[in-house]
Amino acid sequence: MRYIDERSWAWVIRLPTWEGSPLPSLIKMINYLLDLNQAKTPADQYPSTNDLIKMFNLKFRWVVSIGFALRSDVVYPSDLHIYGSCEAERKFNWIVKRYAKITQLMNQHTILQDLYGPGTTWYIRKNLTYNCPQVTGTGWAAIGDATGFTNPLYSPGINANMATSIYAAEMTHEYLHANALDKHQLMQKYERFCKGRIENLNRMNVFNYVLMRSPQLGPIGPIWLVVLSPDNYFVVKMLSRSRRRLRLLCQIKRHMRMFSRADI
């Protein structure tokens, strides 16, 4: 993540892509790697990417994903239409032209047209926050972003959604050996786990934004997240004995009340 200004931030992520490879060949490669893992093959004996490409006749390349997350109150110029043929392209190019460093970065890359099929060169997404009302069913369970998403700024969903994957993986063995009633209870337990996760993650995001609005607290936001964790009672107790830190805690609490009433 790269910060631009108070209204936006950018990501520049280098990604591997197997796009264009036949699906049956990709499945064979995945099964092959799973077999190696099952056989407890040492990591240094795994084939390299180039070896896998030759073994399974695959296509592979490195690409770079570049994009911007913009606040909803950004004011765009009246001539925005000159920057491209669609909304996503126009806003992207407008941001690029505003900053010399970003222009230099883009000059080092070539845009790949429709890498993932027709109409996939430019993407724009709005109202990303959601919470899936049901994450389990007969013989299936949703994991990761499929269970819910709160906000892209800090990428907190990575950590939280890893938890769903681990939870589901650990539950699977018990599920496969359970009777019908126990299976239902396991699924309901997972439903409750996912529901609370999204709510708590959103609360953490709100706390982050409150810290960002304070010059005094903003730079130490990540530390406060650890220190003020509900699980870290002892540290919070120690901090509360300090008058200065107690004032900071009161300030955070006051901002949190204000923030909860604001429609952000």
Band (231; pLDDT cuts 50, 70, 90):
very low
Whole-angstrom Cα Rg for the chain: 23
pLDDT higher than 80, residue 4: no
> Is the same domain home to 27 and 45?
yes
Band of residue 232 on the pLDDT scale cut at 50, 70, 90: very low
Contact 163, 200 (CB under 8 A): no
What confidence score (pLDDT) does residue 77 get?
93
Percent of the chain as helix, strand, coil, to the nearest 5: 55, 10, 35
What are the residues whose beta carbons fall under 8 Å from the beta carbon of 232, sequence distance 6 or more?
226
31 and 63 in a single domain? The answer is: yes
Q: Provide CB contacts within 8 A for 10, sequence distance 6+.
A: 1, 2, 3, 4, 66, 67, 68, 69, 95, 102
Q: Are residues 60 and 92 in the same domain?
A: yes
Residue 57 placed within a domain: yes
* pLDDT band of 196, cuts 50, 70, 90: confident
Q: How many domains is the chain built from?
A: 3
Residue 264: is its pLDDT beyond 80? no
On whether both 52 and 134 belong to a single domain, the answer is no
Q: What does the block give as tokens for 4?
A: 């631009």
Task: Kindly state whether residue 122 falls inside one of the protein's structural domains.
Answer: no
Per-residue model confidence as pLDDT tens digits over 65-88: 998 888 778 889 999 999 999 999
Output the pLDDT for position 132. Answer: 85
Residue 185 has pLDDT above 50, yes or no: yes
75 & 8 share domain: yes
Q: How confident is the model at residue 126 (pLDDT cuts 50, 70, 90)?
A: confident
Higher-confidence position of 241 and 35: 35
pLDDT of amino acid 57 = 96
Token look-up 């669609």 returns: 86
pLDDT exceeds cutoff 90 at 62: yes
* Residue 32 exposed, middle or buried by CB count within 10 Å (0-12, 13-18, 19+): middle
* Inside any domain, residue 8: yes
pLDDT averaged over every residue in the chain:
79
**Residue 206 shares a structural domain with residue 251:** no
Q: Is the pLDDT of residue 238 over 70?
A: no
| 18 and 89 co-located in one domain | yes
| Contacts of 43 by beta carbon, 8 Å cutoff, 6+ apart | none
Q: Are 15 and 64 in contact (CB under 8 A)?
A: yes
Residues 6+ apart with CB under 8 A from 145: 157, 161
Regarding whether 31 and 81 lie in a shared domain, the answer is yes
The 8-class DSSP code of residue 138 comes to: T
Q: Is residue 118 included in any domain, yes or no?
A: no
**Inside any domain, residue 25:** yes
What is the model's pLDDT at position 258?
46
Are residues 150 and 201 in contact, defined by beta-carbon separation less than 8 angstroms? yes
Q: Is residue 174 part of a domain?
A: yes
Q: In this structure, are 14 and 97 located in the same domain?
A: yes
pLDDT of 263 > 80? The answer is no
**Is residue 136 a part of any domain in this protein?**
yes
Structure tokens at 229: 């964790």
Same domain assignment for residues 180 and 228: no
Question: Where is pLDDT greater, at 80 or 257?
Answer: 80
pLDDT of 113 > 50? The answer is yes
Closest CA to 200 of 237, 165, 231: 231
Longest dimension (CA), the chain: 66
Kindly report the CA angle at 205 between 3 and 101, in degrees rounded to 5?
A: 5
Query: With 50 as the cut, is the pLDDT of residue 234 above it?
Result: no
Q: Which structural domain, as residue segments, surrounds residue 234?
A: 219-264
Is 247 among the domain residues? yes
Q: Using CA atoms, how far apart are residues 89 and 66, in angstroms rounded to an integer?
A: 12
Q: What letter would DSSP give residue 83?
A: G
Do 15 and 51 share a domain, yes or no?
A: yes
Instruction: Check pLDDT > 80 for residue 211.
Output: no
Which range is least confidently modeled, 3-17, 150-164, 178-192, 219-233? 219-233
The pair of structure tokens assigned to 159 is: 């950590």
Identify the pLDDT of residue 27.
Answer: 95
83 shares its domain with 139: no
pLDDT at 233: 38
Residue 186 confidence (pLDDT) above 70: yes
Q: What percent of the chain has pLDDT over 90?
A: 41
